[in-house]
Amino acid sequence: MTISPAALKAALADWRAALGRDAVFDTADDRAAYADHYSPDEATHMPGAAIAPANTAQVQAAVRIANRHRIPLWPISRGKNFGYGGAAPVQKGAVVLDLTRLKAISVDADAGTVLVEPGVGFFDLYDHLQQRRLPFWLSVPGNSWGSVAGNALDRGVGYTPYGDHSAQICGLEVVLPTGEIFRTGMGAMAGSPNWQLYRNGYGPGWDQMFCQSNFGIVTKLGLWLMPEPEAVLGYDIEFDKPEDLGWAVDTIAPLRREGIIRQSPSMGNWLRSAAVMTTRSQWTDSKGPLGEDVITAIRRKFDIGWWSVQLRTYGPLDMAEAALRQIERAFAGKPVLKMKPKRWVKGDGLEGSPFSGVPVSFPLANANWHGGRGGHVGYSPVLPMKGDLAMDQFRRTYALYQQYGMDYHASFAFGERSITNVNQLLFDRDDSAMMGRVDAMFRALVADAQAHHYGEYRTHIEYMDLVADTYDYGGHALRRLNERVKDALDPNGILAPGKSGIWPATSRAQSKRK
Ligand code: ADP
C-alpha cells in the first residue's frame, strides 16, 4: 500500500474532527520529533504525521479513520525504544499513533498486580507506588524513560527476578486493526476479578500474540509486581581476561537453571562503564579499534575487569543468605579477579539501581561515547547457556568489531535456559566514514549468527525483514502463518506494516525480504 497524499490529507482532517486539533501533529517539526534520533538514517523511516488520542474510544475512532482512508498507523506507547527505532515506523510515511496520553494506573495491592495504560512510564509507576507506600518493586530497563507496557510488549528486560517483562504480562485490553475492542484471559468475562491473576483464561491464550507483533493495539496491560523483598544480597564480580567468559557462563548457568539466582545477570565488558561515564576522546585520538593500552587505562580508572557481572539473590534474609552461600560455593577456587559483596536489607536506604527497581536513565549516556550526534543499534542473538558457545560467539563478534573498526560493547544476559548476547554498535552520526561501515557490519553480524542457527530476540526497524529472513524453517513457515493471521485481522493492512517482518497483503511488495 503506497500512501496517497490526498488520502493522508483527508485522514488528517477526520482525525482533527474526531480527536481535536491539538491531537494531530503534521508539521515538518512534528515529523522530525517522532523520527528515530538514534538511527543511521532518519529519513528512511520518517513518519508522515502523528496523532495522540486521549482515551480508548478515541483510539478506536482513530483506527476506523485509518481504515477508511487506508493510512497505516504505527502504535507506540511512549516511543523511547532507542536502539530499535525509537518512535519511528518501519514504513516511511506511516502515521505514529502515540498513546502517551493514556496514563491510568490501577494497582491491586492485595494481589501485587497493576493494570497500566500505555502512556505510563517507569518513573510514573515508581512515583505512584512510592506516594502510596505500596510495598512493590518494579523491574526497569536501562532506559526507564520508556513505557511499562511498551517495553513489555517489545519483550524488554530488567534485572530483578521479574526482569523478563513480557513473561509478567497477565491480561490485555486490545483494539484490533478493525477498531473492535476485546480483553484477553479472564478479562474475556465481564467483571472478572481474575483478569490480572490467572494468565491462561479459557481456550487459547492470546497475550503473547500481541508482543512484537502488529495484530492489535494494546490499550491496557496487566502486569505482576514483585513484592518488596526483605533482602537483596550478592556480589559484583570482575574477571581479568576475555577467556574467563567461558567458565563464568558454566558456573552461573546451573545457579540460574536451579532458580538459586532468579534475576537475569548480565556479564558485560569494560566499555559498558566507560561509555556511560566518559567519552572516547577522553581516552584516545586514534580512530582505529581501541588498543590494549586504552583498555587497561579504562579498567584501571573504573577498577573493573575485562568482564563484570552482578549477581543478586532476593527474598527473606535467611533465604537470600542461603542462596548467596550457593553462589560462594560455586565460585570457590575459581580464578575471579575480584568479588565485591553487596548487601541491602529492608530499612537501609535504597540506592538508585536497576537491581532494586529504581528507574534509571543514565545508561542512555552511552550514545554520547563518540560525541557528535551519537546513536546506536542493538544486535542481540540468543544462544544456548554454554560457556564454549559463548566464548565462540564472543571471538567471532569481537573479530567483526575489529574488522569494521568499531568499539566492542557487549553483554551476555542469562535467561533460565539461554543467554542473549546483547551488543551495541555505538556510533557518531556526524562521522560519515564510520556510518558507511555500520550497515555492512550489522548485516555481517546477522549473517554470522544465522550461520550458527542463532536468531536475534529483537531488532531495529531497519532490519526487521533481514532478521525475519533468518527464521527460515519450512521455507519461512512462521512468516506465512504470521501473515495469514495478519490478513485475517487487518484486511486493509493499516496496522504497523513491516513490524517484525510481518507485512499485510496490501503492502507485502514493500517488504525487503529476500
Ligand atoms: P518504550 O517507550 O517503552 O521504549 P515503545 O512505545 O517505543 O516503548 O514501544 C516499543 C514497540 O512496541 C513499538 O515500536 C511498537 O512496535 C510496540 N508497541 C508499543 N506500544 C504498543 C501498544 N500499545 N500496542 C501495540 N504495540 C505496541
Q: Tens digit of pLDDT for each residue in 212-248?
A: 999 999 999 999 999 999 999 999 999 999 999 999 9
Q: Identify whether 84 is a catalytic site residue.
A: yes
pLDDT band at 351 (very low <50, low <70, confident <90, very high): confident
H or E element at residue 433: helix 432-451
Asked if residue 167 and residue 43 are part of one domain, the reply reads: no
Catalytic residue among 159, 458, 463, 479: 458
Residue 352 confidence (pLDDT) above 80: no
pLDDT band at 142 (very low <50, low <70, confident <90, very high): confident
Asked if residue 258 and residue 130 are part of one domain, the reply reads: no
Asked if residue 150 and residue 170 are part of one domain, the reply reads: yes
What's 34-66 look like in SS3?
Answer: CCCCCCCCCHHHCCCEEECCCCHHHHHHHHHHH
> Is the CB of 114 inside a 6 Å radius of any atom of ligand 1?
no
374 CA to centre of ligand 1 in angstroms: 22
Provide the CATH number for the domain around residue 112.
3.30.465.10
> Is the CB of 459 inside a 6 Å radius of any atom of ligand 1?
no
Pocket test residue of 38, 63, 73, 77 for ligand 1, highest count of atoms within 8 A of CB: 77
Domain end among 417, 441, 458? 458
H or E element at residue 111: none
Q: How do strand 49-51 and strand 95-98 relate by DSSP bridges?
A: parallel
> Is the CB of 75 inside a 6 Å radius of any atom of ligand 1?
yes
235 CA to centre of ligand 1 in angstroms: 34
Residue 71 confidence (pLDDT) above 80: yes
- Do 353 and 234 meet the contact criterion of CB atoms below 8 Å apart? no
What is the C-alpha separation between 29 and 249, in angstroms, rounded? 47
Domain end among 63, 98, 133? 98
Asked if residue 364 and residue 303 are part of one domain, the reply reads: yes
| pLDDT tens digits, one per residue of 88-98 | 999 999 999 99
Angle between the N-to-C axes of helices 387-403 and 244-257, in degrees from 0 to 180, rounded to the nearest 10: 130
The pLDDT of residue 40 is 77
- CA 448 to chain CA centroid, Å, is 22
Q: Identify whether 458 is a catalytic site residue.
A: yes
Domain end among 98, 123, 143? 98
Asked if residue 445 and residue 297 are part of one domain, the reply reads: yes
The pLDDT of residue 373 is 85
Domains: count for the chain: 4
Tell me the pTM. 0.96
Asked if residue 269 and residue 154 are part of one domain, the reply reads: no
Residue 428 confidence (pLDDT) above 80: yes
Asked if residue 113 and residue 90 are part of one domain, the reply reads: no
pLDDT band at 38 (very low <50, low <70, confident <90, very high): confident
The pLDDT of residue 83 is 85
Pocket test residue of 99, 153, 360, 500 for ligand 1, highest count of atoms within 8 A of CB: 153
Cα–Cα separations (whole angstroms), residue 250 to 236, 289, 450: 17, 29, 23
> Is the CB of 458 inside a 6 Å radius of any atom of ligand 1?
no
The pLDDT of residue 278 is 94
The pLDDT of residue 131 is 98
Asked if residue 423 and residue 300 are part of one domain, the reply reads: yes
pLDDT band at 108 (very low <50, low <70, confident <90, very high): very high
Provide the CATH number for the domain around residue 483.
1.10.45.10
H or E element at residue 224: strand 217-224
> Is the CB of 63 inside a 6 Å radius of any atom of ligand 1?
no
The pLDDT of residue 288 is 80
363 CA to centre of ligand 1 in angstroms: 20
- Which domain range does residue 478 map to? 465-510
The pLDDT of residue 41 is 82
Asked if residue 291 and residue 256 are part of one domain, the reply reads: yes
The pLDDT of residue 353 is 81
What is the C-alpha separation between 500 and 23, in angstroms, rounded? 28
The pLDDT of residue 371 is 87
Residue 347: exposure state from Cβ atoms within 10 A (0-12, 13-18, ≥19):
exposed
Asked if residue 282 and residue 387 are part of one domain, the reply reads: yes
Q: Which residues contact 398 (CB under 8 A, 6 or more apart)?
A: 242, 408
> Is the CB of 218 inside a 6 Å radius of any atom of ligand 1?
yes
Asked if residue 303 and residue 168 are part of one domain, the reply reads: no
> Is the CB of 49 inside a 6 Å radius of any atom of ligand 1?
no
226 by DSSP, 3-state: which? Answer: strand
Q: Identify whether 457 is a catalytic site residue.
A: yes
Provide the CATH number for the domain around residue 93.
3.30.43.10
Asked if residue 151 and residue 222 are part of one domain, the reply reads: yes
Provide the CATH number for the domain around residue 284.
3.40.462.10
**Mean pLDDT, to the nearest integer, of 372-394?**
95
In the DSSP assignment, the letter for residue 208 is G
- Do 327 and 260 meet the contact criterion of CB atoms below 8 Å apart? yes
- Do 78 and 121 meet the contact criterion of CB atoms below 8 Å apart? yes
End-to-end Cα, the chain, rounded Å: 19
- Nearest-CA neighbor of 412 among 383, 438, 388, 441? 383
pLDDT band at 268 (very low <50, low <70, confident <90, very high): very high
Residue 391 confidence (pLDDT) above 80: yes
